[in-house]
Amino acid sequence: MKKTEYIKLIDTTRCTACRGCQVACKQWNEMPASRTRNFGSYQNPPDLQWNTWTLIRFQEYADKNGDFKWLFRKDGCMHCTEAACIKVCPSGALYHTDYGTVALNRSACIGCKACVSACPFDIPRYNQATDKIYKCDLCYTRLHEGQKPACVLSCPTGAITIGEKKAMIEAAYNRVDKLDGKATVYGDKFVGGTHVMYILSENPAAYDKLPSNPKVPASVILWKNLFKPFTLIGMGAVAGMAALHYLIKGPHEVHEKKEGGEHDV
């Protein structure tokens, strides 16, 4: 039975970049830390990793008027409804849960890495040591037990909330109405709607590594919606034509070449 669809809403206007969610995520999912180097930013680790499923991105940004702003964005799986990763996964390791989220059955993953390039948000990460893929599953086991995801629970400012889909979309638009003109809702207008949404204080284009119009890549659609069925249709049609040829025209028999040289085919 289809359960309630959930949406996790990330209000960047309330985020103080304390990174509590990053730590809570690692704790709940028992992911170790990797040693990193300071590259002149509080952003640490520098990017999502197989063992870092959510990351606060710190971005120094100056708008058109030259006003400086520090943008914080909690990056991680967006849990798409039209999920390119699920579309390309050959093993079914990536799947939609009853909550509409995208979970990963790691024991089924064969480490083919097809999901890594298919994802419009560049989320899945590969671990060479285990030959498997890792990413946020929106704390599927916690949702299953009626608990909030670890990141939501840890957030001290209430920037991360979770709830039923319809109510959360409504809450997002209500919140944006109260904010100044630039603030936008991000997530409900593409890839069938994501199950993680943002309230962005700036235009989406202002954010690093955030596509303004994410979609399932054209190459994935060609591959899975056209070439895949036509592999069977093509081979089947050719086999059918060969059978018809055999029945109608018959095999191409060998004939002795007659003297005088008329060649019968």
Q: Does 263 bind other proteins (CB under 8 A)?
A: yes
Residue 118 binds to other proteins (criterion: CB under 8 A): yes
Where does residue 156 rank: exposed (0-12), middle (13-18), buried (19+ CB within 10 A)?
exposed
Listed in order, strand segments (DSSP E) in the chain are: 6-11, 55-62, 68-75, 94-96, 102-104, 125-127, 132-134, 160-164, 184-186, 196-200
Structure tokens at 246: 């055999």
92 binds other proteins (CB under 8 A): yes
Binder of other proteins out of 68, 256, 259, 260 (CB under 8 A): 256
Q: Is 244 in the site for other proteins (CB under 8 A)?
A: no
Residue 41 CA neighbour count, 13 Å, CB half:
17
Q: Can you tell me which of 182, 189, 209, 257 binds other proteins, judged by CB under 8 A? A: 257
- Residue closer to other proteins, measured from CB, 61 or 126: 126
Residue 100 or 124 with smaller CB distance to other proteins = 124
**Footprint of other proteins on 178-237 (CB under 8 A):** 217, 219-220, 222-223, 227-228, 230-231, 234-235, 237
CB of 126: closest distance to other proteins in angstroms?
6
CA distance 160 to 170: 15
Distance separating alpha carbons of residues 104 and 102, to the nearest angstrom: 7
9 binds other proteins (CB under 8 A): no
What minimum distance in Å lies between the beta carbon of 48 and other proteins? Answer: 13
- By CB neighbour count within 10 A (0-12 exposed, 13-18 middle, 19+ buried), where does 150 fall? buried
Q: CA-to-CA distance for 139 and 147, rounded, in angstroms?
A: 9
Binding site for other proteins (CB under 8 A): 88, 90-92, 108, 110-114, 116-118, 122, 126, 217, 219-220, 222-223, 227-228, 230-231, 234-235, 237-239, 242, 245-246, 249, 251-257, 262-265
